[in-house]
Structure 1
């Protein structure tokens, strides 16, 4: 699997510079991986690293977390991992498609311990029927299409251990 990045596909900087659908990858063991969602006006960073996995916070103005910024990433879900989020607890890290958006279940900073918020990642999708939704326990962060498509990060919540697995 080719994970190389073209020079014009990334930059380096703090979370403050990251817009929604940016993947921030660490440069050292002391930095964390983040997926940025929310809106342009109010971006939200969701931590993908083990220490704070699926914790989220508003990232506008955040200069504390830095790394390799990869904007315009794609999200792909595994239909074999689908579940009904209206009938089951939505695990942290699951992708949820509801109404016109796709988002990630995360623990938003400042909310109750068991409160899961769905941080929007993609908006403006075709309208789903009211009161219908689908969740996914396996998903990937990708970049490019066709021969240039690369998997940058994989999440598999189906495994017995809730683990985010960096692509190899």
Structure 2
């Protein structure tokens, strides 16, 4: 309660009445299926992977899953490709999961330092960020960005799509 009141005071809202309704211990974790395609069943979003809450990569990744899968399903449904095209969805999005999970865990470690070393890094970054704007990027990195599917069977390996 004292911790919450200190934060409310710091943002100028300490005068508002409040009470604790529920507390728990949050355990950050990232998990993924080994494959997002099982025959005619395709998994996306939280059904395929779970991300820590810090860094808003879970929902963004779900949107990216849908974007990746939609055109492939349309090609298969229209007969423009055989169903093997759907295998690239799984490969590409699992690779993206690993990129997103790494970034989400970095955000999680910053928001909830797992050790005194991470805590010192956080304190240093926060104390320097106001005067040194470059350090602020360490605190608030871009939340999502395009993932390059370098190892995708649909990629030429030179950054150009086939």
TM-score by length of 1: 0.24
Larger Rg: 2
TM-score by length of 2: 0.25
Counting helix residues as a fraction of each chain, which structure ranks higher?
A: 2
Counting strand residues as a fraction of each chain, which structure ranks higher?
A: 1
